[in-house]
Structure 1
Amino acid sequence: MTVEITQQSADADAGLAITQEETAAAIETPFRRFVSEFLESRLALGALFTLGAIILAAIFAPFITPQDPYDLAQVDILDGRLPPGSEAFTEYTMWLGSDGAGRDLYSAILYGLRISLAVGITSGIIAIAIGMSVGLSAAYIGGRFETFVMRIVDLQLSFPAALVALMLVALLGKGIDKIILALVVAQWAYYARTVRGSALVERSKEYVEAAASLGLSHARIMFRHILPNCLAPLIVVGTIQTAHAIALEATLSFLGVGLPQTEPSLGVLIANGFEYMLSGKYWISVFPGIALLITIVSINLVGDQLRDVLNPRLKR
């Protein structure tokens, strides 16, 4: 009799546990599932925290740096090429040393990160808006319009993005606005092709036909019904392309066609120290290069994890 009671109690506990699991699974939202799957990778989580710290440091750079490298009144040529840990003539410690112009590298790197992140994010948002609209329209309208648009996209993608941006900046001149325009032109085709591929799959589904039968406008069907189902690959491509835009801006600045010397970005700082590499003054190029590398790698790791989480075909 005691055995039967114990068995019944165990069965009841097992049934209660199953019920609790089913209830927990039922109340699990897609956002919670996304967060839990993203947090499975400690590497991606570390990259996310690193990227967040970099963004916060860049935003609050005027409050946590001893010098404004853009203000020539605060830059002393006598502080030029000081090694890390040296004391400046203005009585503060240059923990990362200084460049040839006397700029504190710690301050210059954080201000350079502000430019890099601003250029990458701004150009990415504009390129996403253009590419998304073009790709979505091509997939929805179809026919000759789609053929014409996609041939333009193919022509754009046949040239390296660095070459396109380099030619445009060489023609337009230096400046943040010129670099952003060049990066938008170099990147919009990637988003157009990505959205067009996803939208073609969604275009043939029944909910699109049902929305059309209700008399909804084409714009509403495209942007309110089809577009939300195309956001997953767009987010992944946007993350990767942001890192690519940051690297491309640094490349242009390193080549001398990006930002002027009075507004040093990471590429300008690396270029300024390149001539001193063989003379032992490694810090002028190495520290900005490390900051650029950490930023790009962090963004790429976050993007890779987003790809794994948002792509159902990669589920383990």
Structure 2
Amino acid sequence: MTLSLTKPRAGSEFWAEFRGHPAALTAAFVVAVIIVLAILAPLVAPQDPYDLASLVLRDARRPPGYVGMGGYTHILGTDSQGRDLFSAILYGLRISLQMGLVAGGIAFAIGALVGSTAAYVGGRFEAFVMRLIDLQLSFPAILMAFVVAALLGQGKSQLIVALTFSQYAYFVRTAHGAAAAERRKDYVEAALSIPMSGWFVVTRHILPNALPPLIVVATVQVASAISLEATLSFLGVGLPPTEPSLGMLISGGFQYLLSGRYWISIYPGAALIVLIMAINIVGDQVRDQLNPRLKK
């Protein structure tokens, strides 16, 4: 039998309470719209940014509302490569969500398993693992991601590895704290008195009760991963220039800001800010509902 830190709550009750907060509900709607647009980008976007044959250099750096050589209106203008900026932003949001969810998911799995295992085993193994985690957390995540990305080179797979490495320590620390509290409870001691494998005790008894704080950390780290991906791409160590990521779009238009071509950087930057803020607002509300002590 497993015991929860808080009273189990039905999904309908959780959703009813969530709907009572307009800011969180609006943010969730924004995130849902962005996800749908990112998934349907090949159908919604008027131009495929990956199709080099559709790009016309003569259309580069054109203002919003410009009618290009392709015969359609660039409602947000074009970037320095002649790509339709609206289409590039849709594909950029797709890349950002992909990087954030994949890297966050891998970091979640690794961190949850390592942290709960360290709490279960204890002793020197626990001390060794947590000292390594403390050492990594003493460095900024952007620095760790930058070093790994610079060593591995540009590319989606390399960037996912860099983002995962820079974030898994947060999950290890959270999982260890929650699992250590569960490890000392009577139901875990009762399970240990029965001939059960340590893997079963960790995955069946300890880890499930450590999930609420991990879910909260996951929402924050997904937004952080999206921000890190944009930062690394802006600095030139993330995705290659052929990828229309939001960081690359901002970087590509940064040099034209003073010349008045603001749209190349401003619109992708605004899309990035809206996405990160919406995810963080949803994460804050989920945190408040999963932790009753934070409620008024």
TM-score normalised by the chain length of structure 1: 0.90
Match of 1:6 in 2: none
Instruction: Percent identity, please.
Output: 58
CA–CA separation in structure 2 for the residues paired with 1:82 and 1:200: 58
Match of 1:227 in 2: 207
CA–CA separation in structure 1 for the residues paired with 2:9 and 2:108: 27
The code of the aligned residue for 1:142 comes to: G
Match of 1:176 in 2: 156
The code of the aligned residue for 1:287 comes to: Y
Of residues 172, 181, 185 in structure 2, which corresponds to 1:192? 172
Matched residue SS, 1:236:
helix
1:2-17 equivalences under 5 Å are: none
Q: Which has the larger radius of gyration?
A: 1
The code of the aligned residue for 1:112 comes to: G
The code of the aligned residue for 2:259 comes to: S
RMSD of aligned residue pairs (Cα, Å): 1.1
Matched residue SS, 2:258:
helix
How far the C-alpha of 1:40 sits from its partner, in A, is 1.7
Match of 2:104 in 1: 124
1:10-53 Cα distance to aligned partner (Å, 9 max, x none):
xxxxxxxxxxxxxxxxxx95222211222221100000000000
Match of 2:40 in 1: 60
Match of 1:265 in 2: 245
The code of the aligned residue for 2:256 comes to: Y
How far the C-alpha of 1:68 sits from its partner, in A, is 0.7
Find out whether 1:34 has 2:34 as its counterpart: no
Match of 1:24 in 2: none
How far the C-alpha of 1:165 sits from its partner, in A, is 0.7
1:34-78 Cα distance to aligned partner (Å, 9 max, x none):
112222211000000000000110010000111111111111111
1:246-285 Cα distance to aligned partner (Å, 9 max, x none):
0000000001111111112000000111011011110000
Match of 2:235 in 1: 255
Gaps of 5+ in 2: 1-7
CA–CA separation in structure 2 for the residues paired with 1:53 and 1:264: 20
Comparing 216-225 with 180-189, greater Cα deviation is found at 216-225
Match of 1:7 in 2: none
Structure 1 moving runs of 4+ over 3 Å: none
Match of 1:139 in 2: 119
Seen in structure 2, the aligned counterparts of structure 1 residues 29 and 162 have a Cα distance that, compared at 3 Å, is closer
Find out whether 1:311 has 2:263 as its counterpart: no
How far the C-alpha of 1:225 sits from its partner, in A, is 1.1
How far the C-alpha of 1:308 sits from its partner, in A, is 0.3
Of residues 55, 76, 92 in structure 1, which corresponds to 2:72? 92
Gaps of 5+ in 1: 1-27
The code of the aligned residue for 1:289 comes to: G
CA–CA separation in structure 2 for the residues paired with 1:277 and 1:140: 54
**What number of residue pairs does the alignment pair up?**
289
Match of 1:210 in 2: 190
CA–CA separation in structure 2 for the residues paired with 1:129 and 1:274: 37
Which structure is higher in helix share? 1
Match of 2:93 in 1: 113
